[in-house]
Amino acid sequence: MIMGATRGDVSAGLIDTHCHVDLYPDPAAVAGLSERLGVRTIAVTNSPFVFDHTRALAERARYLYPAVGLHPQLVASRSHEVGRLVALLDSTRFVGEVGLDYTSIDPEDHRLQRKVFARILGACAEHGDKVITVHSRRAAPDVIDAVGGSFPGKVILHWYSGTVKDLDRALKNGAYISVNTAMISSKKSLALVSRVPADRILTETDGPFITVGQKPAVPSDVNLVVERLAEMWRVDAEEASHVIRSNFDEVIAGDG
């Protein structure tokens, strides 16, 4: 048994640390589903100008945490929105989706992304209590360098796909890794996940971008990830679910 794990109901207390609730055809229905099932969900946004709608949904829910974000792939056209994001940091403890994405080969785009990400990190550091969910596709070394080892908040690397070396650096710096159904379907990703200590693992859907059974994943679908982690850890699903809940409690410790 993993240290600290206890038996319980795996259907209760699931955690989704990265879900684009606002991008579903019916965001209120997704929020309502999370509420009914008790799935604590970080509702990330891709632009600060859509944050208000997500915040309004969260005001009517116990289990929805609204996050203000600026997706790195939108920075080229929306870098001017970073000021709005910074201003909204007084409104929420949660930040995402932010980070770097080097899918583009344009070095100027990369430079602008780094500039915007640095400003976001700096503003978050001034607050000192933020929980940020970070995108790092093809950019893990620069993301890990930018965050550093003394960021005064909690960092969740969303859908990490970098190298083992950079993963080890991120873990040394205190980062958490959030795992989704696409990752548990990939041998490469599973190899990375197997290196992460159990007390640094979280779960996510990245819905609606990831699908489950040919439908957009919804927060309760993280149960599939919990079941796979349980197999990996050689515990039952209830114990694995308890570990994930405990990790999330640690991430949001002090949140009112």
Q: Is 20 annotated as a binding residue?
A: yes
Strands 211-212 and 215-216, by their bridges, are antiparallel
CB 40 within 8 A of CB 16: yes
Residue 112 CB burial class (10 angstroms; 0-12, 13-18, ≥19)? middle
The CA distances from residue 156 to 16, 32, 77, 137, 235, in Å, are 12, 25, 25, 14, 24
Instruction: For residues 218 and 27, give the distance between their C-alpha atoms in angstroms, rounded to a whole number.
Output: 11
Instruction: For residues 36 and 28, give the distance between their C-alpha atoms in angstroms, rounded to a whole number.
Output: 12
Q: Is 18 annotated as a binding residue?
A: yes
Q: Is 53 annotated as a binding residue?
A: no
How many angstroms from the chain centroid is the CA of residue 212? Answer: 18
Q: Is 97 annotated as a binding residue?
A: yes
Q: Is 127 annotated as a binding residue?
A: no
Q: Is 255 annotated as a binding residue?
A: no
Instruction: For residues 228 and 233, give the distance between their C-alpha atoms in angstroms, rounded to a whole number.
Output: 9
DSSP letter, residue 235:
S
Q: Provide the annotated binding site for a divalent metal cation.
A: 18, 20, 97, 135, 158, 206
Q: Provide the annotated binding site.
A: 18, 20, 97, 135, 158, 206
